Amino acid sequence: MKTRPQPQTPNPKLQTPDRAARGFTLIELLLVLVILGVLAAIVVPKFAGRTEQARNVAAQTQIATFGTALDAFEVDNGYYPKGKDGLQDLVSAPRDTTSWKGPYLKGEIPNDPWGNPYIYECPGRYNQSSYDIMSTGYDGRDGGDDDITNWGTANAKK
């Protein structure tokens, strides 16, 4: 008897892979990268603007908190803290007062959201019967349009 030759099974390594098994082409990968780049170009600036707006609001809130503490100091002592270092009188008793009932703020005097110290003056240049408090904003310089103040004449960027 004659045996028939067995059909050979094809070697799977020699077969061309079907479309699903090949992976992505360079064009497909580049197209995905372009789409992600366009989305990032749209989304990132929106989040960046919100960060600066949040810093402005935080500085305004801190200035209002200083105002409340300074008013309590004034009620207890009959005057606002004098000089450029007057905010320190809210957390530690000044030498020249006998009716200090503080501390009027918890902890230390914080810096503004950009890491700069708040500027305090009493008597103020703008509020001559009380005090001026100012954050110099992101540029760190007095007099810019990014200054945040308690007298309301600076145009803080929104």
Residue 11 lies in a domain: no
| Pick from 97, 124, 113, 120: nearest CA to 146 | 113
Contact (Cβ atoms closer than 8 angstroms) between residue 126 and residue 56: no
Q: Token digits for 60?
A: 């305004």
Q: Is residue 108 part of a domain?
A: yes
> What percent of the chain stands above pLDDT 90?
37
Per-residue model confidence (pLDDT) at position 40: 83
pLDDT tier for residue 15 given thresholds of 50, 70 and 90: low
Q: What is the tally of structural domains in the chain?
A: 1
Structure tokens at 108: 């230390």
For the domain that residue 89 is a member of, what is the CATH number? 3.30.700.10
Most confident of 20-29, 124-133, 144-153: 124-133
Paired sense of beta strands 148-149 and 119-121, if any: unpaired
Concatenate the DSSP letters of all residues of 84-137 into one string.
Answer: TTGGGGGTS--TT-S-----SSSSSPPPPTTSPPPEEESS-SSSTTS-EEEE-T
In a domain, 157, yes or no: no
Is 19 part of any domain? no
pLDDT at 156 exceeding the cut of 50: no
Please report whether residue 7 resides in a domain. no
What residues make up the domain containing 123?
A: 31-149
* 86 located within any domain: yes
Does residue 12 form part of some domain? no
Q: pTM here?
A: 0.68
